[in-house]
Structure 1
Amino acid sequence: MKKILLLCFVLMLALLHQSIAQDRPVTGKVVDAQSDQGLPGVTVVVKGTSTGITTDAFGNFSITVPETNPVLVVSYIGYTRQEVPVGAQSNITVRLQQDNQQLSEVVVLGYSEQTKQKLISSVSVVESQQLETVPLADVNQIIQGRAPGVLSTVGSGQPGAAANIRIRGTGSIDAGRGPLYVIDGVIIESGDFTRNTPTADLLSTISPSDIESISILKDAAATALYGSRAANGVVLISTKRGKAGKTQFTLRTQYGQTIPNHGDFDVLNSQQLTEYDREGLRNLGLSEATVLRLRPDRDVDTDWIDAAFRNGTTQSYDLSAAGGNENLRFFFSGGYFNQEGILIGSEFSRYSTRFNLDNNPSSRFSWGANLNISYTDQLSASPGNQFNSPLLGSYTMLPWDRISDPVTGELLVGREFESFTQDNFVRSTGLNPTVTNTLRGIGNARGRFEIIPNQLSYKLVLGVDYTGIDEDDFTDPTTPDGFDSQGRKTNIFSRNITLTAQNLLNYAKTFGEAHNFTALVGYEAQRFERDGFDVSGTGFASGRLTNLGTAATAESIGGTATDYYFLSYLSQINYDYQNKYFFTGSFRRDGSSRFGANNRWANFGAVGLSWIVTNESFLSGTDFLSNLKLRLSYGITGNADIGNFASRGLYSFTAAYNGLPASLPSQLENADLTWEKNRTFNAGLDFGLFERVNASVDYYIRSSDDLLLQVPISSTSGFTTFIQNVGEVENKGLEIVISSQNLTGGFAWTTDFNIAGNRNKVKKLTGGQDIPNGTQVIREGEPIRSFYLRDYEGVDPQTGRPLWKDGEGGVTGSYNAAPRMIVGNAEPDFYGGLNNTFKWKGIELSAFIYFIEGNDIYNQTSQILDSDGLRYGFNQSDVVLDHWRQPGDISMRPFPIAGSGNNNAHGTSTRYLEDGSYIRLRNVVLSYNLPKPFISKAGLSSVRVYLQGQNLVTITDYTGFDPELAENGTEFFRYPNGRIATFGVDFGF
């Protein structure tokens, strides 16, 4: 027996040696068949084996093949898959043909995937190369301008701040207006879950370097499978996965600086402000002696803006590994991102890791798992509506107040200042930190079993989204805000858990080689829980003893707990005939704990049709038309983004009656409360010309009814509002996308352009009554964010007094006599993006422009800093120097009167309403891929070096800091965006 085993072992070694001896190396290059440009990242696998590799930045590869009949399988998204016999060749050039029906080969739709050829829905896709190197923390900011119909605005330049996303307009008034987010098939939580942090976003916990693509679902045919929460669109994020072949490592490094950007905005220096204040005091009727005593000459000129802002730094490092074989594939990454804000006291850091695994242990069973863990540390500057804010102080503090004692050099506290804030933010900011730490874990496990091979399969997905947020706010006892309490410390902790389970059955069958049929049925359950507590204490010794255990007095303690549940049944049918006519139908039934006992369940669904005209025989000889497809869809989705107990009759609990607990009614019950309904019609046209141009045009009508509104009721009930399903809002729009290959060959030039316009209208409100909304009004027949203001007409040239329209074709000098009227709205007429990419011999230059046109912004900052003397004790914008001085002067500003303004000229009116249109050079990248022979000596497969600029140039008539900062149309002392310049190197090995 031992001899037999020994003989077998010897034979096995001999065969192994013979096999190794017969293997031989093959080198080659994969290029685009039209341009002959090398294609990076192409998968090359030896057929019948797990041996594989991906091409480098120039399309080159080297692989070992067997001596006998080797065949290479070459595949790349957007190109036709090829099997290439090697024969006796040692060097091969593979020319891949673009497949116009397979461009962006597979589009992720959440519960399913669809080839672009069969896609009926209106879906925009943003690929990884547009995401992974942009030096911003939040994915929502990065996709700005990349997808038509998706309006992304950043309300703050604070690192890690949230962006506001609106897909195809604003469809709700009181309920949520943002999209639903799904990562790798699992619904996640998004938005700001903090209570004390000025700006935070859960999406900033996800590293853009880990994202493969983002699909933005816009019409009902695409969103209907998410029925109950898809009224505002769906954003699907797919993370990177491993590919069969040799393990590929990628190291991305980036470092740069962020430079403050204040636009054309500036404030007065000491001499200018002194003269301006003196003029205002004289106009108040004071004697010259009193004027000079109140505003003497100064020899100090502090630049508070320079003290508040700085050059920030940006750095990121990401290392990933991807590989495996046909049966087991993996992707692993670890990353660090840090951005120091341009405003003192602001910073954001993220530590992240991801592990994705795909396994096919048999031909009928597969499973996989995704896990992302991240930790963020956010230091937030105080917002512009707080006195200790460096943002507010930098523009309002008086230039003759000093930062430090001229003798001792110690920072002044601020109580001795003439400035109204009485706070030296240069000293206070470092002593009063606001810190938010977020630990987040997003994961799922899935299994798929082929019940009938290639026909019927069952899939189970279990997902979890965990977020733990720790907020820490400290006020030092030696700062003005901490004097009275002798210091204050607040800790807030919240734990948020979302659990999801999906059970899906998929069926696919082809009948008669012409009828293709697929079906999906599923059941989904989701549970969300949040609990937390907050504790605060006062009385801290001077120094750095900031732990709550050192507080002299326990000030308060509180706790929160809330949850919600969703149960859903879903189904979809897809059918196509002869690869020309396509149909899809979806139905979903949802139940939610958020709604009334009488309306816990609701039905949602959609149908869609498309026709690929170019697959008809009568167009077979048309050379110039490479693709023509017509699309139609209609469906109903819902909006459930309200409070968890909005339908319930609630009580609040408080301490009363000598400290004993007591409860009081706090909310009326509405057992009939149900979903907002969103009804969307979409008509689309896709076409391609001369194999060079691909374009899409979509027209939509989106109507939202049964709005979830807080309706005013008689106060005799003990309440002032009652939530009901009333009202209707309509959005109509047009979206255009054009991609073109302008030049091909050695020098290549491509252009991607998109533009969208949306018209919003409020169709119905309770009893037709207006809903006041600050400077705006919600009124039937008008856009949802219409400005409702007195119409300012400037200054009477003879008297220097302000004038307003009187509503009857004339003017009036009385502010109170001037009626308010609708004078504009915050909705843009159109917006979009333009990207040009140039390639030549490894050099690539891309420039991306973002634009918004036709929206109005109420510049509330200017109402403080251009106040005609009312804000005496504040610094002012340098535009105040252009004011009326004598009869005959033409100016938009009256003469200043210290402490009282001038006849309410500073009041709310169109004087501060400005055109918010702008064009911004959002991103420019110049890169170079080092030659393969040069880097191969170091064992590297690719090296890419690049320079990148962000927010480099902005063209606008807006006079504030930044037109992008307007939130819902209003800008008030918001943290401006900076200009970012970074240098990066990416290594592949």
Structure 2
Amino acid sequence: MPSKLTAARLWLIACLLLFTSITFAQQKTITGKVMGEKDKQPIFGATVAVKGSNVATQTGADGSFTITVPNPNSVLVITFVGFETIEIPLAGKSNVEISMKDKSTTLTDVVVTGYSSQAKKDITGSVAVVKTEDLKSIPAANAETQLQGRASGVTVITNNRPGDGASVRIRGFASFGGNEPLVVIDGIPGSLTSINPNDIESMQVLKDAASASVYGSRASNGVIIVTTKKGKQGSAKVTYNMYYGASFPGKGYTNLLNPQEMADLAWLAKKNQGLPLTHDQYGSGPNPRLPDYILAGTKSGVMEGDPAANPALYNLNLDNVSGSYLIVRANKAGTNWFKEITETAPIQNHNINVSGGSDRSRYLFGFDLFDQKGIVIHNFFKRYTARVNTEFNIKKNIRIGQNLQISASQGNGAGLNDEGTEIANSYRAQPIVPVFNINGDFAGSRGANLGNGNNPYATRVRSKDNRGNNYSVFGNMYAEVDFLKHFTARTSFGGTFSNDNYYFYTFQTYENAENNSGTSFTEGVNYFRSWTWTNQLTYKNTFGAHDVTVVGGSEAIEEWGRAIQGLRLGYFVDNVDFRSLDAGGASGQRASGSPYTPAALFSIFGKADYAYNNKYLASFTIRRDGSSRFGANNRYGVFPAFSVGWRISEETFMQDIKWLTDLKLRGSWGQMGNQRILPANSFSQYASGPGSSNYDINGNQNSTVGGFQLSFVGNPDGKWETNTTTNIGFDATLFGGKTEIVAEWYSKKTDDLLFRLEQVATAGAGPSSNPPFVNVASMKNTGLDLLINQRMNIGGNNGVKLDATLTFTTYQNEITKIADGVDFFDAVGAAGRVGGTFFRNAVGNSVSAFYGFKVIGLFQSADDVAKSPTQEAAAPGRFKYLDANGDGAITDDDRVFFGNPNPDFTYGINLNASYKNFDLGVFFYGAEGKDVINYVRWWTDFVPSFQGAKSKDALYNSWTPQRPNAKVPIQEESGNRSTNGAPNSYYMEDGSFLRMKNLSLGYSLPSSLLNRFKVDRLRLYVQATNLFTITKYTGLDPEVTGGDTEFGVDAGNYPTVKQFFIGVNLGF
């Protein structure tokens, strides 16, 4: 019997050994690495599991993992929050590299929506989530510029001037001034121009009242929420990103005449007007001739051999004030002033971050250098930024942290868009004027019939040592406590400290017709301070099918500042080392200063979000603000909002629609406010000054006693502007998340708009008294926002991955009321010399609508003039205006609205593709249906407008009896209201455009190579921005800036130009 048991035991052991050996023969150890598909960064904490089993592991800090699988053909399932789940068939492989795709558009993403956050599927307001990877694909000093075309409902106008921000409008215009959105950075009011774009972790745009009204009186123009990067648990990670490139100015104004053609045009104008053919520079007779010298001593139009041109006769530049001793040789070939003042300009950015942490603490340290030269010579912007973000878990339920940015910047500015800028002077200065006179000093417009344009090259060289400096500190400290399971209390205190210093020197401009007779130096300092203290309590709980989140809190904000400036005249030496306020002359010194009246805001707010059964959604928000900017009568305002949503795809009757992943219908209504007026608007102010408030007490005019007059009339009854918004839309996700569509219609109406009415004569208020802001006007905006995102893989997970996004934005703005008895007001803007204004803001029209005479053709003959309505200065070849009211006479009553700078719609098209280690990015931005006033044509198309450069059209395509179908009116020496003397539609052009904003090609080195050097990521790329622009506009750039009630005029706009870059992304 024992022998039988022994045999049985031996047989059982043998079977077990055989089974074990077979099992171990099938098992296999797999190693690999998990990275993000876009940034190629290792993913720490991703779960790697064997499909159909309980075997799983997690990736380490470098993204690596090791796992033992039951058999060589197992399937790995990799999951991580914020990324799409991926399955990898092993097919016998022992090492795998896995790229996880960011699911930033998926329903479970958590989105910051103002004092709280929600899963995207539960949001019922209008919130646009901006992909920060797309933002950073545009090399720029700030995120305002990068935001263009990235979010539906957001209109951005950019330029290429170093350090400049952009004009950002969310769903049109809500006011006559101050239409910039509120920007909140880590819970503190800030600016997109002040933050380093590389520090941005996430960005959301709150567009309707349901999402933004929690910010109350500051939210009427929308809210942009920015969260900066934080450290994550794991070993230290170092990232270094850099790019280096250059901006290319292009050819500038290519349609300008050379000096001989300028002379021919002068003769044409004289012939057309029947004037003698004589000119101080071009001589007399049937054909003009070019002089050898445009100025020699006091004589103009001098030919070679004339004794006046003998330099031995003069002590050159002895008299800089009168310029009597200048000899300036004519540049007969012509000076290309645009080329003289522009250059290929380098731009570079270096950014390094160190981050990491443990379960108790997390940290991020960053440093950034941005350095951009402008295409205009000596124009630059340079900024250093340092960031420290930390967070500590004091206990399991207690967290404290801080976010801090310190920055220092310096720049030398150049004009942006007005007739006095260097770009404008490049078409105002005559081509016959050289850059230098024969003595090597600057030449200019001094001399007969050369106009009074400045030498733009001299302007830039003389200003090269002018500086503007800024030093700022921005950030906050916070603490959070979780208690009673469902409650979280949070307090945050932070603010801004900003200090500006600037100085500039004014030279004698002896070479110009209108010269500065003396030198001066100006230096100033101003500072700004603000603090924000926010306290909030959050309750979050789930009761069966009911999900509830309630947030309540209070917020206090205060801001103040001060400015002081000094000026001194009579500097005897121009050397930069002597430019200080104590080095000038004793006379002519001035000092000025201005206090910034402190402004304070105190608020209480509440927000409740509710979801039932994961498909019926509702949200309610209310905020009460009290502002010191208003008088005691209307200091407080209440701003409510509510929204509802229905995830109809969760209904049982929708379950058979397999291609529909999610469909949510939503709608909202609410009110927001605007308090952007002067802090002291409610108070009357008094000032004194000679000729206005001084009194001749003794009656002998020899002594006066200072008095005061009313300089600003206060309005104690001023109150909030109120913006009421209705929003209806849907969010659809199709084909398992491959397609996303977000469409919204909105209506936004603003009442009680703050507007400055002309002062009615009252006791103590004189003509120089500034009127207050009063609540009188109304306007509305309606529009459509659309976003479509499509993702696909061609050839499976190892094939080509494509991601395409379309954003579409449209708004229609209309002024519905200005004031009782007031239907319009005009604005001058950048075009002030046309004999009137191009802008009329009137009831029934949009802000900044173009207004003037409608040109319907050119008069062709005296008979044509006689048969047409009477018109001042009508003659053959001149403009023929529309008789809008049909009374047979062209008067100011016939002026009409003929254009609109607001686009019909804007759009962005973003395409990303990747294949293995290569990635390609393409981005287009366009605006359609926008008009631009090309004010440059007033200067260049008419001889009498200005004695500066002229266009080829003025000579070769202007009206003569032989050219009845000419583009340009007849050329004459005298101006009038029928040519260049009145605002009219001749200057308006179609400003629609489509621009390739970005093209980039990158290559990431394989991990198998990088691992040898302990490098996690190395990506090299080349990039081009603004490669081409498709437009009918004839100016330098169809994107034109301007004020809210006076934009859309190109007076010499700083243009957007081509840029080329190389770059590196490194991580270890």
TM-score scaled to structure 2, two decimals? 0.82
Match of 1:928 among 1003, 1006, 1014: 1003
User: Residue in 2 aligned with 1:548?
Assistant: 581
User: Residue in 2 aligned with 1:741?
Assistant: 791
Match of 2:949 among 872, 875, 881: 875
- State the one-letter code of the partner of 2:948: F
- State the one-letter code of the partner of 1:780: V
2:814 pairs with 1:753? no
Q: How far apart in 2 are the matches of 1:97 and 1:255?
A: 28
Indicate the SS of the match to 2:461.
helix
User: Residue in 2 aligned with 1:377?
Assistant: 410
CA deviation vs aligned residue, 1:624-666 (integer Å, no higher than 9, x gap): 1111011111110001111111122222244645586543212
User: Residue in 1 aligned with 2:881?
Assistant: 804
User: Residue in 2 aligned with 1:283?
Assistant: 272
- State the one-letter code of the partner of 1:978: V
2:1048 pairs with 1:983? no
Match of 2:558 among 527, 541, 561: 527
User: Residue in 1 aligned with 2:148?
Assistant: 144
- State the one-letter code of the partner of 1:429: R
User: Residue in 2 aligned with 1:707?
Assistant: 753
Q: How far apart in 1 are the matches of 2:398 and 2:86?
A: 25
Q: How far apart in 1 are the matches of 2:913 and 2:442?
A: 52
Retained in 1: the 8 A contact 2:669–2:725? yes
1:501-512 equivalences in 2 (<5 Å):
501-511=533-543
User: Residue in 2 aligned with 1:330?
Assistant: 363
Bigger Rg, which one: 2
Give the drift of 1:699: 0.6
Give the drift of 1:31: 7.5
Indicate the SS of the match to 1:772.
strand
Change (3 A) 1:353 1:416: farther
2:1018 pairs with 1:943? yes
Indicate the SS of the match to 1:225.
helix
Retained in 1: the 8 A contact 2:182–2:221? yes
2:825 pairs with 1:824? no
Match of 2:643 among 579, 585, 608: 608
Give the drift of 1:213: 1.9
Indicate the SS of the match to 2:215.
helix
Indicate the SS of the match to 2:394.
coil
Q: Which runs of 5+ in 1 are unaligned?
A: 1-23, 56-60, 191-202
Retained in 2: the 8 A contact 1:153–1:964? yes
Q: Which moved more, 1:717-726 or 1:233-242?
A: 717-726
CA deviation vs aligned residue, 1:897-927 (integer Å, no higher than 9, x gap): 1243684345310011121111111111111
Indicate the SS of the match to 2:179.
coil
User: Residue in 2 aligned with 1:5?
Assistant: none
User: Residue in 2 aligned with 1:179?
Assistant: 181
Q: How far apart in 2 are the matches of 1:477 and 1:25?
A: 81
Match of 1:449 among 459, 465, 481: 481
Retained in 2: the 8 A contact 1:26–1:62? no
Indicate the SS of the match to 2:975.
coil
2:492 pairs with 1:429? no
Q: How far apart in 2 are the matches of 1:470 and 1:386?
A: 26
Q: How far apart in 2 are the matches of 1:446 and 1:325?
A: 19
User: Residue in 2 aligned with 1:297?
Assistant: 290
CA deviation vs aligned residue, 1:385-421 (integer Å, no higher than 9, x gap): 465x432221111111111235x54443654585423
Q: Which moved more, 1:72-81 or 1:745-754?
A: 72-81
Give the drift of 1:872: 4.6
Give the drift of 1:954: 0.7
Retained in 2: the 8 A contact 1:353–1:373? yes
Change (3 A) 1:72 1:743: closer
User: Residue in 1 aligned with 2:522?
Assistant: 490
Taking only aligned residues, the RMSD between alpha carbons, in angstroms, comes to: 3.1
Give the drift of 1:320: 0.8
Give the drift of 1:247: 1.4
Match of 1:75 among 54, 72, 80: 80
User: Residue in 1 aligned with 2:11?
Assistant: none
Change (3 A) 1:26 1:316: farther
Match of 2:849 among 777, 786, 791: 786
Match of 2:932 among 851, 857, 878: 857
Indicate the SS of the match to 1:965.
coil
Change (3 A) 1:517 1:160: same
User: Residue in 2 aligned with 1:44?
Assistant: 45
Retained in 2: the 8 A contact 1:344–1:390? no
Q: How far apart in 1 are the matches of 2:748 and 2:803?
A: 33
Indicate the SS of the match to 1:296.
coil
2:723 pairs with 1:678? yes
Give the drift of 1:801: 2.6
Retained in 2: the 8 A contact 1:122–1:218? yes
User: Residue in 1 aligned with 2:326?
Assistant: none
Q: How far apart in 1 are the matches of 2:42 and 2:415?
A: 45
2:815 pairs with 1:762? yes
Give the drift of 1:52: 6.8
Q: How far apart in 1 are the matches of 2:585 and 2:809?
A: 58
Retained in 1: the 8 A contact 2:31–2:67? no
2:721 pairs with 1:668? no
Q: How far apart in 2 are the matches of 1:117 and 1:132?
A: 26
Match of 2:969 among 888, 891, 894: 894
Give the drift of 1:375: 0.9
Indicate the SS of the match to 1:936.
helix
Q: Which moved more, 1:428-437 or 1:678-687?
A: 428-437
Q: How far apart in 2 are the matches of 1:786 and 1:332?
A: 48
Match of 1:690 among 712, 735, 742: 735
Change (3 A) 1:702 1:475: same
1:95-174 equivalences in 2 (<5 Å):
102-103=106-107, 105-154=109-158, 156-173=159-176
Give the drift of 1:38: 10
2:976 pairs with 1:971? no
Q: How far apart in 2 are the matches of 1:471 and 1:783?
A: 38
Q: How far apart in 2 are the matches of 1:839 and 1:229?
A: 42
Q: How far apart in 2 are the matches of 1:891 and 1:478?
A: 40
CA deviation vs aligned residue, 1:526-554 (integer Å, no higher than 9, x gap): 00011121111111122322112211135
Match of 2:347 among 314, 339, 346: 314
Retained in 1: the 8 A contact 2:616–2:647? yes
CA deviation vs aligned residue, 1:352-381 (integer Å, no higher than 9, x gap): 111111111211100110000111111012
Match of 1:514 among 530, 545, 550: 545
Retained in 1: the 8 A contact 2:885–2:894? no
CA deviation vs aligned residue, 1:782-827 (integer Å, no higher than 9, x gap): 2223222110122123332321111156987x6x467111122221
- State the one-letter code of the partner of 2:1033: Y
Give the drift of 1:509: 1.5
Q: How far apart in 1 are the matches of 2:389 and 2:1067?
A: 19
Change (3 A) 1:726 1:25: farther
Q: How far apart in 1 are the matches of 2:629 and 2:979?
A: 46
Match of 1:269 among 241, 255, 258: 258
Count of residues paired in the alignment = 929
Q: How far apart in 1 are the matches of 2:348 and 2:800?
A: 32
CA deviation vs aligned residue, 1:76-99 (integer Å, no higher than 9, x gap): 4244699x9x9xx98577796987
Change (3 A) 1:66 1:531: farther
User: Residue in 1 aligned with 2:993?
Assistant: 918
Q: Which moved more, 1:964-973 or 1:499-508?
A: 964-973
Indicate the SS of the match to 1:920.
strand
Change (3 A) 1:395 1:853: same
User: Residue in 2 aligned with 1:412?
Assistant: 443
Indicate the SS of the match to 1:767.
coil
Give the drift of 1:492: 1.7
